[in-house]
């Protein structure tokens, strides 16, 4: 039922349709409701849909038929009960993460990104809805999931050397010494830290500390890797290197990666898909397919026409979200 | 040059105090209660012979050792439990405040009745006073656990004993060491006091004996010995701390430099 958005867009442009016209030919979702605010440059395909949820008619992310998704998030809601009253951080989120995909979650600050990630990783219990991994409901941190946190300085054990930090989860699982050494060596090699196993984490720069945290996750051999704004606290040049590192680790291991960020460029550069979150209480605003070439390069990719189109689109959506745009209100109209 | 300088800093004040003391006792009015440094040194060598060491000093030190060890074990195990189990903390904290407020010295007669006048009683008195700083600091250290580190161990499925060993204990260690440091001086004080009651040997007992028989220089020499023990104790502690908290001091240095 979905027309090919690219060819459609090409037609519009060729026909010289003025900017005020609704030119985004996505079949459903939010664009239709706010045509005047949508980019007219390129076209972006939204993979999401609209579904009837316990919270009313809502936009949802792309879902797969039952049993096919690796990680499934269904009608996830999180309400914090505080003395000052209830705070609805996440209203309703539904999307799937297929095996081996690298998806970015991007949203305005305070859009409950960290809350969402904590619910997915089993650190927080959702108020309603559920997260399933291979069809099994997540009630605590699952064994096949690893999380890389933003605060690298607080997620590494300062009393352990780099190597011991990477080795600890394996040791805890009872992996034998030879296998452990191999996994740790490979992981440190993969993140380019083979030369500092005997240092303490705090002796390293911020970027290197985050590399250690990534190495620890890699050595753990997870099926799903969750990353919570991992590069928000490192400088721009280091960040570019780390982005490429994530892409290469992802390709090497074939893991599914869910990468949370507030950096729009980063989300477009990294992901195969960008899930845009609304402002709090969070729902999915749009689920955008990132159809950039497989091989990404900080110079080439970022200066390409397609990159700037996608970036433009995501940026606009985030601006909308910041202004308090609610996808469900638009649907109700 | 640098070591010489730091050595001068260490001995500087003691030398000044000795000189003042010498001037005051040698040229001032003679005082029966304050001996000259030379007399004290002479008395010290005469009094603390090997014989006396084995009959009075070593038994005291053994009791001190057991008292400190008992305090560390009870304080750390109790602190880990109370710090990590919320209902236990809620249950025990008010009562703990009550027992903490009781000076251990008033417990001596009670303990004498309950466990006799032997070494057990003296060790119990030391523990009753020295356990508190370790216990309370351990509780605080466990509670002040970094949330991100705690989440990290959860996501990697590190729980139970491994969580205590790899996360809780090391992360509380700076606080625990601060508690132990306070406990050491309390333990030394209580060792002396416990030996002043119903004892027939020990440093505290000997010093009180000298005092009562007006052996004033001998009494002072005992006090000097106590001071030396205190200095040695703190020296040993610093050596241990430097090894155990190496990572912590390094981390702090870098944080302060930044």
Under an 8 A CB cutoff, do B157 and A158 touch? no
The pLDDT value recorded for residue B239 is 95
Under an 8 A CB cutoff, do A158 and B247 touch? yes
Can you tell me the mean pLDDT for A96-124? 89
The residue among A90 and A37 whose pLDDT is bigger is A90
- pLDDT tens per residue across span B95-127: 998 988 888 888 888 888 888 888 889 999 999
- pLDDT tens per residue across span B206-232: 999 999 999 888 999 999 999 999 999
- Whether B22 is covered by a domain: the verdict is no
Residue A30 has pLDDT above 80, yes or no: no
Quote the Cα angle for A280-A56-A315, to 5°.
40
Q: Which of A122, A133, A202 would best serve as a mutation to test chain B binding (most B beta carbons within 10 A)? A: A202
Can you tell me the mean pLDDT for A73-94? 88
Full residue range of the structural domain in which residue B248 is found: 36-257
How many domains does the structure of chain B reveal? 1
Q: How far B179 CA sits from the closest chain A CA (Å)?
A: 19
Q: How far A147 CA sits from the closest chain B CA (Å)?
A: 7
Q: How far A141 CA sits from the closest chain B CA (Å)?
A: 5
Confidence of residue A42 (pLDDT cuts 50, 70, 90): low
Confidence of residue A13 (pLDDT cuts 50, 70, 90): very low
Quote the Cα angle for A124-A127-A130, to 5°.
80
- pLDDT tens per residue across span B3-62: 888 889 888 999 999 999 888 888 877 777 888 888 889 999 988 888 888 888 999 999
The pLDDT value recorded for residue B227 is 93
What is the ipTM for the molecules in this complex?
0.81
Of B158, B248, B251, the CB nearest to A169: B158
Confidence of residue B80 (pLDDT cuts 50, 70, 90): very high
**CA A89, CA A78: separation in Å to the nearest integer?**
6
Residue B160 has pLDDT above 60, yes or no: yes
The pLDDT value recorded for residue A322 is 84
Under an 8 A CB cutoff, do A149 and B148 touch? yes
- Whether B17 is covered by a domain: the verdict is no
- Whether B9 is covered by a domain: the verdict is no
Residue A37's contacts (CB-CB under 8 Å, 6 or more residues apart) are A316, A320
The pLDDT value recorded for residue A328 is 76
Instruction: Judge whether A205 is closer than 8 Å to chain B, CB to CB.
Output: no
CATH superfamily to which A47-144+222-332 belongs: P-loop containing nucleotide triphosphate hydrolases (3.40.50.300)
| Mean pLDDT score of chain B | 91
Cβ under 8 Å to B: A residues 158-197? 158-160, 168-169, 172-173
Q: How far A197 CA sits from the closest chain B CA (Å)?
A: 15
Write out chain B residues lying below 8 Å of A149, CB-based: 148, 151-152
- pLDDT tens per residue across span A207-251: 899 999 999 999 999 999 999 998 888 888 888 889 999 999 898
Can you tell me the mean pLDDT for A60-89? 85
Ordered by start, the domain boundaries in chain A are 47-144+222-332
Q: Which of B141, B155, B246, B247 would best serve as a mutation to test chain A binding (most A beta carbons within 10 A)? A: B155
Q: To the nearest whole percent, how much of chain B has pLDDT over 70?
A: 100
Under an 8 A CB cutoff, do A147 and B151 touch? yes
**CA B63, CA B40: separation in Å to the nearest integer?**
27
The pLDDT value recorded for residue A26 is 42
- Whether B4 is covered by a domain: the verdict is no
Write out chain B residues lying below 8 Å of A157, CB-based: 149, 166-167, 170
Q: How far B185 CA sits from the closest chain A CA (Å)?
A: 28
Of A118, A172, A203, the CB nearest to B157: A172
Write out chain B residues lying below 8 Å of A145, CB-based: 155
Can you tell me the mean pLDDT for A312-316? 89
Among residues B99, B78, B183, B71, the alpha carbon closest in space to that of B141 is found at B78
Under an 8 A CB cutoff, do B152 and A147 touch? yes
Which residue does chain B place closest to A222, by CA atoms?
B156
The residue among A29 and B68 whose pLDDT is bigger is B68
Residue A6 has pLDDT above 60, yes or no: no
Residue B1 has pLDDT above 80, yes or no: no
Residue A29 has pLDDT above 70, yes or no: no
Confidence of residue A333 (pLDDT cuts 50, 70, 90): low
- Whether B21 is covered by a domain: the verdict is no
Predicted structure pTM score: 0.81
Under an 8 A CB cutoff, do A168 and B251 touch? no
The pLDDT value recorded for residue B182 is 95
Instruction: Judge whether A200 is closer than 8 Å to chain B, CB to CB.
Output: yes
Q: How far A135 CA sits from the closest chain B CA (Å)?
A: 19
Can you tell me the mean pLDDT for B121-142? 94
The pLDDT value recorded for residue A114 is 86
Question: Which tokens sit at B209?
Answer: 């004996």
Write out chain A residues lying below 8 Å of B170, CB-based: 157, 159
Write out chain A residues lying below 8 Å of B146, CB-based: 154
- Whether B5 is covered by a domain: the verdict is no
Confidence of residue A22 (pLDDT cuts 50, 70, 90): very low
The pLDDT value recorded for residue A331 is 75
Which residue does chain B place closest to A141, by CA atoms?
B155
- Whether B55 is covered by a domain: the verdict is yes
The pLDDT value recorded for residue A161 is 93
Residue A4 has pLDDT above 60, yes or no: no
Residue A53 · residue A75 · CB < 8 Å: yes
- Whether B224 is covered by a domain: the verdict is yes
Instruction: Judge whether A20 is closer than 8 Å to chain B, CB to CB.
Output: no
The residue among A42 and B181 whose pLDDT is bigger is B181
- pLDDT tens per residue across span A186-213: 999 888 888 888 899 999 988 899 999 9
Q: To the nearest whole percent, how much of chain A has pLDDT over 70?
A: 87
Which residue does chain A place closest to B165, by CA atoms?
A172
Q: Can you give the CATH number for the domain in which B75 is found?
A: 1.10.3720.10
The pLDDT value recorded for residue A113 is 86
The pLDDT value recorded for residue A31 is 41
First and final C-alpha spacing in chain B: 29
Residue A254 has pLDDT above 90, yes or no: no
| Mean pLDDT score of chain A | 82
Residues of chain B with a CB closer than 8 angstroms to some CB in chain A? 146-149, 151-152, 154-158, 162, 166-167, 170-171, 173, 247-248, 250-251, 254
Confidence of residue A3 (pLDDT cuts 50, 70, 90): very low
The pLDDT value recorded for residue A34 is 43
Which residue does chain B place closest to A170, by CA atoms?
B156
The pLDDT value recorded for residue A194 is 87
Can you tell me the mean pLDDT for A59-63? 80
Write out chain A residues lying below 8 Å of B167, CB-based: 157
């Amino acid at each position: 039922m979905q027309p090919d958005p690219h060819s459609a867009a090409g037609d519009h442009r060729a026909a010289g349709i003025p900017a005020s016209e609704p030119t985004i030919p996505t079949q459903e979702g939010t664009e239709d409701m706010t045509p005047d605010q949508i980019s007219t440059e390129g076209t972006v395909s939204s993979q999401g849909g609209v579904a009837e949820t316990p919270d009313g008619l809502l936009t949802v992310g792309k879902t797969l038929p039952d049993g096919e998704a690796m990680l499934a998030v269904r009608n996830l809601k999180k309400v914090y009960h505080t003395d000052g009253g209830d705070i609805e951080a996440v209203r309703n989120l539904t999307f799937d993460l297929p095996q081996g995909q690298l998806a970015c979650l991007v949203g305005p600050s305070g859009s409950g990104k960290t809350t969402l990630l904590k619910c997915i990783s089993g650190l927080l219990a959702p108020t309603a809805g559920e997260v399933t991994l291979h069809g099994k409901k997540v009630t605590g941190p699952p064994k096949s999931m690893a999380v890389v946190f933003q605060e690298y300085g607080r997620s590494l054990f300062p009393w352990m050397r780099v190597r011991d930090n990477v080795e600890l989860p394996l040791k805890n699982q009872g992996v034998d010494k030879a296998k452990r050494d191999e996994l740790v060596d490979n992981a440190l090699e993969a993140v380019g830290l083979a030369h500092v196993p005997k240092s303490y984490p705090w002796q390293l720069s911020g970027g290197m500390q985050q590399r250690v945290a990534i190495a620890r996750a890699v050595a753990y051999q997870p099926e799903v890797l969750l990353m919570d704004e991992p590069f928000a606290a490192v400088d721009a040049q280091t960040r570019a290197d780390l982005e490429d590192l994530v892409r290469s680790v992802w390709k090497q291991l074939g893991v599914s990666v869910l990468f949370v960020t507030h950096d729009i460029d980063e989300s477009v550069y990294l992901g195969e898909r960008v899930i845009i979150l609304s402002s709090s209480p969070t729902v999915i605003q749009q689920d955008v397919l990132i159809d950039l070439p497989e091989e990404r390069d900080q110079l080439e990719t970022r200066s390409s026409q397609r990159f700037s189109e996608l970036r433009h689109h995501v940026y606009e959506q985030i601006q909308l979200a910041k202004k308090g745009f609610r996808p469900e209100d638009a649907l109700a109209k | 040059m640098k070591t010489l300088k730091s050595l001068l800093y260490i001995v500087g004040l003691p030398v000044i105090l000795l000189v003042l003391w010498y001037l005051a006792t040698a040229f001032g009015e003679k005082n029966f209660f304050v001996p000259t440094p030379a007399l004290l040194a002479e008395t010290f060598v005469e009094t603390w012979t090997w014989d006396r060491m084995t009959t009075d000093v070593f038994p005291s030190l053994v009791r001190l050792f057991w008292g400190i060890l008992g305090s560390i074990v009870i304080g750390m195990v109790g602190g880990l439990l109370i710090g990590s189990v919320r209902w236990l903390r809620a249950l025990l904290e008010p009562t703990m405040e009550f027992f903490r407020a009781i000076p251990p010295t008033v417990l001596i007669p009670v303990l004498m009745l309950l466990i006799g006048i032997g070494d057990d009683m003296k060790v119990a008195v030391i523990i009753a006073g020295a356990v508190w700083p370790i216990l309370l600091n351990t509780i605080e250290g466990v509670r002040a656990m970094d949330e991100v580190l705690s989440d990290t161990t959860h996501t990697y499925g590190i729980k139970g004993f491994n969580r205590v060993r790899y996360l809780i204990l090391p992360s509380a260690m700076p606080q625990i060491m601060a508690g132990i440091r306070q406990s050491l001086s309390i333990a030394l004080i209580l060792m002396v006091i416990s030996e002043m009651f119903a004892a027939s040997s020990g440093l505290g007992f000997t010093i009180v004996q000298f005092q009562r028989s007006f052996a004033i220089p001998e009494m002072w020499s005992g006090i000097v010995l106590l001071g030396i023990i205190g200095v040695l104790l703190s020296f040993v502690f610093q050596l241990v701390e430097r090894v155990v908290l190496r990572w912590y001091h390094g981390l702090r240095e870098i944080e302060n430099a930044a």
